Structure 1
Amino acid sequence: MRLTGGVVTNAELVSDLGEASARGELFAVFQPQFDLANGSIVAAEALCRWRHPKHGIVPPDTFIPLAEATGAIGAIGRFMLDQGLRAVVAWRRLGLPIGVSVNVSPVQLSTEDLVDHLGERIEAHSLPAGALTVELTESRPLDDFADIADRLRRVRALGIGVALDDFGAGHASPEHLEQLPVTEVKLDKSIVQSGTDATWRELAERLRGARARDLTVVAEGIETPSHLRRARDLLCDRAQGFLLGRPLERASFDALLAR
Structure 2
Amino acid sequence: MEDIEDLTAALGGAVSRGEVFAVFQPQVALDTGDVVAVEGLCRWRHPELGLIAPDLFIPLAERTGAIHELGAFMVDECLEAVDFWHAGGQCVEVSVNVSPVQLADASFAELLAARLGDRALPPNSFTVEITESLPVTDLPMIVPRLVALQSLGLGVALDDFGTGHASFDQLDRLPVTELKIDRSLIQGDQADGDEVLVGIMAVAHARGLRVVAEGIETAAHLALARSLGCDRAQGFLLGLPMVRSDVDRLIAA
Normalising by structure 1, report the TM-score: 0.93
Tell me, yes or no, if structure 1 residue 25 matches structure 2 residue 24: no
Distance 2:165 2:111 in 1: 28
Q: Any conservation in 2 of the 1:122–1:129 contact (CA below 8 Å)?
A: no
**How far does residue 180 in structure 1 lie from its aligned partner after superposition?**
1.1
Distance 1:198 1:171 in 2: 13
**How far does residue 101 in structure 1 lie from its aligned partner after superposition?**
0.3
Tell me, yes or no, if structure 1 residue 161 matches structure 2 residue 155: yes
List gaps (5 residues or longer) in structure 2.
none
Partner of 1:117: 111
Tell me, yes or no, if structure 1 residue 222 matches structure 2 residue 235: no
Distance 1:163 1:219 in 2: 12
Distance 1:194 1:140 in 2: 25
Tell me, yes or no, if structure 1 residue 257 matches structure 2 residue 236: no
**How far does residue 26 in structure 1 lie from its aligned partner after superposition?**
0.3
Q: Any conservation in 2 of the 1:200–1:234 contact (CA below 8 Å)?
A: no
Q: Cα 1:172–1:255, aligned 2, differ >3 Å: closer, same or farther?
A: farther
Distance 1:219 1:199 in 2: 13
Name the amino acid aligned to 1:125.
Answer: R
Name the amino acid aligned to 2:160.
Answer: D
Number of positions where the alignment pairs a residue of Structure 1 with one of Structure 2:
253
Q: Any conservation in 2 of the 1:41–1:98 contact (CA below 8 Å)?
A: yes
Comparing 169-178 with 105-114, greater Cα deviation is found at: 169-178
Partner of 1:106: 100
Name the amino acid aligned to 1:214.
Answer: G
Percent identity (aligned): 51
Deviations 1:146-172 (A, max 9, x none): 211221111112111000001012144
Q: Cα 1:158–1:140, aligned 2, differ >3 Å: closer, same or farther?
A: closer
Distance 1:66 1:171 in 2: 26
After the TM superposition, which residues 118-157 of structure 1 pair with which residues of structure 2 at under 5 Å, given as runs? 118-139=112-133, 141-157=135-151
Q: Cα 1:143–1:17, aligned 2, differ >3 Å: closer, same or farther?
A: farther
Distance 1:58 1:196 in 2: 29
Tell me, yes or no, if structure 1 residue 203 matches structure 2 residue 212: no
Comparing 24-33 with 123-132, greater Cα deviation is found at: 123-132
Name the amino acid aligned to 1:128.
Answer: P
List gaps (5 residues or longer) in structure 1.
1-6
Comparing 170-179 with 128-137, greater Cα deviation is found at: 170-179
Tell me, yes or no, if structure 1 residue 170 matches structure 2 residue 152: no
**How far does residue 240 in structure 1 lie from its aligned partner after superposition?**
0.5
Distance 2:165 2:149 in 1: 22
Q: Provide runs of 4+ in structure 1 moved above 6 Å.
A: none
Distance 1:114 1:130 in 2: 18
Distance 1:158 1:31 in 2: 24
Normalising by structure 2, report the TM-score: 0.95
